[in-house]
Amino acid sequence: MKTWLVDTGPFVAYVDHSDPQHEAVAATLDPFTGQLATTGAVVTEVMSFLSDVEGGPATFAELLLESETRLVDLTTADEILAAARLMERYADTPMDYADATLVLLGDELGVTDVLTLDRRGFSTYRTKKGRAFRIVDLAIG
């Protein structure tokens, strides 16, 4: 089964119909039949961004349930340190904590397909084995 890592931006755009990327993200996610995977750090960011969107947090939570998105916390001390080291390594890009946890999740799952609006970051980031991430192309809305 195909797995996509999902970053903050696409989740926000999917839920927030006023987001300029909403139609393209919806046209990409709606027909996808594989497994979505993300991290607790991404969920925290999405909830924060959607806190001012009416019904946003609940709609996002329902999306996670209905899509059976795989949620991984990555909150052990070793994982947090690994994320912090990635953030230092990519400080010039820059890399935030949520991005770092997605890179770690990609390593853990052996997945390099990522649905993101952060083309610059994920074009630069690499797995532990030096593999590049493949950014999922957004459908034309």
Q: What is the pLDDT of residues 100-137, one digit of tens each?
A: 999 999 999 999 999 999 999 999 999 999 999 999 99
Give this prediction's pTM.
0.96
Say what percent of the chain tops pLDDT 70. 99
User: Is 70's pLDDT higher than 80?
Assistant: yes
Crossing angle of helices 56-66 and 40-49, rounded to 10°: 150
Q: How far is Cα of residue 118 from the mean position of the Cα atoms in its chain?
A: 10
User: Is 141's pLDDT higher than 70?
Assistant: no
pLDDT band at 69 (very low <50, low <70, confident <90, very high): very high
Closest CA to 48 of 38, 57, 36: 57
Maximum CA pair distance of the chain?
A: 42
Q: What is the pLDDT of residues 26-36, one digit of tens each?
A: 999 999 999 99
Structural domains in the chain, CATH included, are 3-135 (3.40.50.1010)
Spell out the alpha helix ranges (H) of 16-91.
22-29, 40-49, 56-66, 77-89
